[in-house]
Structure 1
Amino acid sequence: QEIMDTWETDTPMMLICHEGIRSRQAGQYFTSQGFQQVYNVSDGIDGWSQNVDPAIPRYRSS
């Protein structure tokens, strides 16, 4: 919270996780705290690798 209090609420924020679920939840939290420019990579880095840039290696759990 202390660090977040030093950020301007109009600071652009891009969030990404493996599949987009946790980053969406984090984005909802930041939005609820007054941040206005919160963006989520909806399918996460895995979706980005499949749909945008196949050069990005995919993580696969065993």
Structure 2
Amino acid sequence: MRIKADPEVCIGSGMCALTVPDLFDQSDDDGTVVVLRPEPPAERIAAVRGAVGRCPSRALQLLDV
């Protein structure tokens, strides 16, 4: 699995970073999403799905690679 984030779509709500802070952060410049670990460990997939579902701008995807 791989996390894909589109910072152009991100509105900087921070839901991803609040939900899974070990995998997501926010840019210091504009608050948009920063993916810390694009290939999350298997035990964190459910948490990533939660973050994807909470993203109000739909800037996140979890891709089956």
Larger Rg: 1
TM-score (norm 2): 0.29
TM-score (norm 1): 0.29
Give the structure with the higher percent helix: 1
Bigger relative contact order, structure 1 or 2 (CA pairs below 8 A, ≥6 apart): 2
Give the structure with the higher percent strand: 2
